[in-house]
Structure 1
Amino acid sequence: MKTKYLKINPADNVAVAIVELPAGTTLTVDGKEVVLNDTIPAGHKFALQDLAEGENVIKYGYPIGHVKKAQKQGDWLNENNIKTNLAGLLEYTYNPVNAELNIPNRNLTFKGYRRSNGQVGVRNEIWIVPTVGCVNGIVGQLAEGLRRETGGKGVDAIAAFPHNYGCSQLGEDHENTKKILRDMVLHPNAGGVLVVGLGCENNQPDVFREFLGEYDQERVKFLVVQKVEDEYEEGMKLLRQLYEKASQDVRTDVPLSELRVGLKCGGSDGFSGITANPLLGMFSDFLVAQGGTTVLTEVPEMFGAETILMNRCRTRELFDQTVKLINDFKEYFLSHGEPVGENPSPGNKAGGISTLEDKALGCTQKCGKSYVQGVMGYGERLQVKGLNLLSAPGNDLVAATALASCGCHIVLFTTGRGTPFGTYVPTMKVSTNSALAHNKPGWIDFNAGVIVEDEPMEQTCERFIDYVIRVASGEPVNNEKKGYREIAIFKNGVTL
């Protein structure tokens, strides 16, 4: 590796260490010598010039906060000496930019499952979905029972998805639970779904059935356990019917324009905005240019970079919706007495992210440079193709569940620290650095760390496109191989 540091944007007054740089190291940046006053860990920032107290720190070409006190050229800049500029609600002005893509359509396809309603799935699985947490034990036993009977063959997976909710909730929390469970039941990655209710819960099975709207009754079955003598045997009868139907499904060629992909990051580090997130951005632009769909969420991790997204909105109406998306989440923070800028986790800081702006400017790179074509509330389902924004928090499992629930077939998840989890659709982990990929091969599916080593971004993206198509066509990712499948539902209100 020849590169020791990276100055990301010509306007930046900091650079990022690609490898650990010892104190006393002399670097030549833009023709000027910089002597490091501190040892700079890989992924962390150092000052390229003297900075006065309160002066903005510029990274990615934008302020990521200001220095708390004067800093010298060559100093290590981190969360201890940089403070966020974020505070409260803002007024925004629509300054639209040209976000047309000049990327040819390559008429690529993947092997997917065409459903009776025209939707396409990239998996053909049997799901058991509880209406309420009281039946979590039962759904787990039913899933295990069907796996024993079938040997796990004939479908891509058999999984139960326990959760804590469906009762003792009011208002928006109750609606959120209903929406996420509805979105799961109707998701095209499921070849068959058994909905298991208790019978006395707030989320009444009959009301929930109506809430689904139109659905394929051969693919979705209901069991209310208080109304049957032996819930296990009754459940197994229904599961056998679903299995018989789903096991006959076959993959067919589907245009890449049908693919819907969620964009998520977690356990970010100083390389996230240099390798993996820009890679996802390049892929997002490619998929959108093919007529496909990508979805960006984690609204709190847009704070500080939101105007970039707002100005890429295709219409003034979408701009207004994006302003509401941002300010509603800020008001949520403020209503709980929490500041809007205290987001980076201990792992983020250890990896080189100092402020929420630092995180956001790296995070939003996952959605590339295309127009924003749609804005969705939490629990809403995709209506338009192209790049969409989705309301959900930064929490990994809550946000990934929301991405799957809006209709994404796959969640692309970049990480610099590593995480094993997966939601109920394939959750592909993309490492920001090669060390993580080498140390955690059972977690990481694709290594973007090579981008700062010896491989051009364009070449990495071509490999990534090929890999995503293979996954969409049935190749399992690590969370699927290990059976790591979970859901989490956003909660804000009281529990009765």
Structure 2
Amino acid sequence: MEKLVILNDSDNVAIATTDLAAKDTVNVNERQLNLLAAVPAGNKVALTDLAAGEPIVKFGQHIGTLTADVKAGQLVDEHNLSDAAEDDAKSTSPAADLSKYLTKQTLMGYRRKSGKVGIRNDLFIVPTVGCITPLMDVMVQQFKAAHPDNGSFDNIILLKHPYGCSQLGEDFEQTRQILCDAALHPNAGGVLVFGLGCENNQMDGMKETIEKMAGIDPDRMKFLVAQEVKNEFATAQEMLEELNTAAANDHREPVPLSELKVGLQSVQPAAVSPLTADRLLGHLANVINANGGSTVLTGLPNLAAAEDELVKQSASQEAAADVQHVFGHMRDYYAEFDQQLVSEPSAKEQAKGITTAKELAVNTLQTAGDAAISGAISYGKKVSAAGLNVLEAPANDLIDSSAEAAADCQLVVVSTGVATPYASFVPSVKVAADSALAAKKQRWFDFDGGQALTKPFDELAKEFVDDIIAIASGKETSNEKAGLHGLAIFKIGVTE
């Protein structure tokens, strides 16, 4: 295992893969580097003598400016590095050529009447309001009693949430929007939208929104208002049986990778995440984007310090304007509560080697690979542009993955340095940052990213991409095996 790794040819620092002791001599880039101090895993070491005022470059990006002279082999951290001035924070990497990621691989998906492609044939039960969610459990129990194998469906997913009533303004509108987004997701082979009858989020409003968005297919989408029928359970079973019959002949067929939309997340990264799981996500993003698919990166607070870079990396003026719009909207939201969108790294993050806000943003951005940004999406909106998209959402694990799913991502891939069982209402692939974590929680993880420290990266990256394509073609994720699915909606404003 290499002890120090250079992430980009233009970097002037290397990253420690493990804790290194002072006075160690380490081979890096075919030369010996004498360490002047202890270097914790994930932290940065200067490759050459550098003077105060010089930029520190990591991932090919300027992450900060030295506040003191440093020697080759010296630790670069909060004691000698500060955030770069905005005017100086420029990418040093040339425009990416993704041609080497082109592949003839395909996935096996479900082609919907709308033209969209799903990677699952799931049954979604979508409540208009939170107070009726306990009734959905009974509905599923009754359906599974008749269909222990889920009938025509891969999974039965209850999109439980606590909202739909006592909401006002934008808060109410975005709750309805996310629920309609979910109802129209291509992974759903059948949908039952279930309401109470007296909630704010009335069924007529749901129908109107869905009709405007894409139209209603009555064979695949049913609507039930409990207060309007004598026996909601009997009526629900009739509707579910109709959906089951409609989906009976659905089948997978080969589709190109250009049909794949993947949400990307880095959640509570470990010190080695940029060298392991994050790096694998970046490679996956390059493969998908090179082949005409779409990737979606969110968690705007973690990206905010790199907003200028994201604007510069946009593929068009329209995309750049959209990037500025979503960041501006999120910044205004934070300002309403006297908060700053950009925050300095915590002591815990600094211990993992993240010294500046710009470095935190650059680390997060690497999970999205090297493509130019083709679009930026407001919360609750669908992906429309192939390539890398930035999505407005607040850097909360489940809210972000739900927003990516609502945007039509057929699966979400998560790099993480902690064990967490959360999952969205689409397959949620968990990539462990280190092998010990992957071994400890095998039932929660889908891939051991820690292998990147012991196996040739190109070999592991191919294995990872093949595994993602297998999952897109029907291989169950850990959350699906355990029956874990979730939905979290971004809550704002006041209630009445």
Flag whether TM exceeds 0.5 (same fold). yes
The one-character-per-residue Cα deviations of 1:282-303 (angstroms, maximum 9, x if unpaired) are 2222222222221122222222
The whole-number CA distance in structure 1 between the counterparts of 2:296 and 2:267 is: 16
Displacement of 1:45 in angstroms is: 3.4
Q: Hey, what does 1:113 align to over in structure 2?
A: 110
1:146 aligns with 2:133: no
Amino acid at match of 2:168: L
The worse-fitting range, judged by mean Cα deviation, of 57-66 and 226-235 is 57-66
Displacement of 1:11 in angstroms is: 5.4
Amino acid at match of 2:494: V
SS in 2 for 1:305: helix
Q: Hey, what does 2:480 align to over in structure 1?
A: 480
Q: Hey, what does 1:124 align to over in structure 2?
A: 121
Q: Hey, what does 2:453 align to over in structure 1?
A: 452
Q: Hey, what does 1:64 align to over in structure 2?
A: 63
The worse-fitting range, judged by mean Cα deviation, of 65-74 and 155-164 is 65-74
Q: Hey, what does 1:212 align to over in structure 2?
A: 210
1:43 aligns with 2:42: yes
The whole-number CA distance in structure 1 between the counterparts of 2:240 and 2:62 is: 55
1:421 aligns with 2:422: yes
Q: Hey, what does 2:294 align to over in structure 1?
A: 293
Q: Hey, what does 2:462 align to over in structure 1?
A: 462
Structure 1 unaligned segments of length 5 or more: list them.
none
Alpha-carbon RMSD across the aligned residues, in angstroms, is 3.0
The worse-fitting range, judged by mean Cα deviation, of 431-440 and 395-404 is 431-440
Superposition map of 1:160-309 within 5 A: 160-213=158-211, 214-309=215-310
Displacement of 1:323 in angstroms is: 1.8
Displacement of 1:255 in angstroms is: 2.1
Amino acid at match of 2:26: L
**Residues 348, 96 of structure 1: alpha-carbon distance in 2 compared, 3 angstrom cutoff:** closer
Q: Hey, what does 1:400 align to over in structure 2?
A: 401
The whole-number CA distance in structure 1 between the counterparts of 2:91 and 2:12 is: 28
**Residues 76, 136 of structure 1: alpha-carbon distance in 2 compared, 3 angstrom cutoff:** farther
Q: Hey, what does 1:433 align to over in structure 2?
A: 434
CA contact (8 A) 1:44 1:353 kept: yes
The worse-fitting range, judged by mean Cα deviation, of 183-192 and 335-344 is 335-344
Amino acid at match of 2:123: I
**Residues 454, 411 of structure 1: alpha-carbon distance in 2 compared, 3 angstrom cutoff:** same
The whole-number CA distance in structure 1 between the counterparts of 2:482 and 2:472 is: 18
**Residues 343, 420 of structure 1: alpha-carbon distance in 2 compared, 3 angstrom cutoff:** farther
SS in 2 for 1:364: helix
SS in 2 for 1:273: helix
The worse-fitting range, judged by mean Cα deviation, of 350-359 and 209-218 is 350-359
Displacement of 1:160 in angstroms is: 0.9
Displacement of 1:450 in angstroms is: 2.1
The worse-fitting range, judged by mean Cα deviation, of 40-49 and 204-213 is 40-49
The whole-number CA distance in structure 1 between the counterparts of 2:90 and 2:67 is: 29
The whole-number CA distance in structure 2 between the counterparts of 1:206 and 1:189 is: 24
Amino acid at match of 2:157: A
How many residue pairs match? The answer is 491
SS in 2 for 1:247: coil
Displacement of 1:239 in angstroms is: 1.5
Displacement of 1:421 in angstroms is: 1.1
The whole-number CA distance in structure 2 between the counterparts of 1:124 and 1:384 is: 24
The whole-number CA distance in structure 2 between the counterparts of 1:335 and 1:65 is: 29
Amino acid at match of 2:360: K
CA contact (8 A) 2:129 2:195 kept: yes
CA contact (8 A) 1:342 1:355 kept: no
Displacement of 1:53 in angstroms is: 8.2
Amino acid at match of 1:274: L
The whole-number CA distance in structure 1 between the counterparts of 2:101 and 2:17 is: 33
The whole-number CA distance in structure 2 between the counterparts of 1:188 and 1:387 is: 20
Displacement of 1:304 in angstroms is: 2.8
The one-character-per-residue Cα deviations of 1:440-463 (angstroms, maximum 9, x if unpaired) are 21122112222222313x222221
The whole-number CA distance in structure 1 between the counterparts of 2:460 and 2:25 is: 31
CA contact (8 A) 1:296 1:389 kept: yes
Superposition map of 1:280-429 within 5 A: 280-342=281-343, 344=345, 348-349=349-350, 351-429=352-430
CA contact (8 A) 1:381 1:407 kept: yes
SS in 2 for 1:492: coil
The worse-fitting range, judged by mean Cα deviation, of 280-289 and 115-124 is 280-289
Q: TM-score, normalised by structure 1?
A: 0.89
CA contact (8 A) 2:91 2:309 kept: no
The worse-fitting range, judged by mean Cα deviation, of 293-302 and 44-53 is 44-53
**Residues 167, 90 of structure 1: alpha-carbon distance in 2 compared, 3 angstrom cutoff:** farther
Displacement of 1:204 in angstroms is: 0.5
**Residues 69, 147 of structure 1: alpha-carbon distance in 2 compared, 3 angstrom cutoff:** farther
The one-character-per-residue Cα deviations of 1:15-65 (angstroms, maximum 9, x if unpaired) are 322112234434355756433433x33223345678888876543344434
The whole-number CA distance in structure 2 between the counterparts of 1:342 and 1:365 is: 19
**Residues 12, 313 of structure 1: alpha-carbon distance in 2 compared, 3 angstrom cutoff:** closer
Displacement of 1:274 in angstroms is: 2.3
Displacement of 1:340 in angstroms is: 2.9
**Residues 100, 57 of structure 1: alpha-carbon distance in 2 compared, 3 angstrom cutoff:** closer
SS in 2 for 1:193: strand
Q: Hey, what does 1:25 align to over in structure 2?
A: 24
Displacement of 1:469 in angstroms is: 1.4
Percentage of pairs with the same residue: 39
Displacement of 1:182 in angstroms is: 0.5
Amino acid at match of 2:450: G
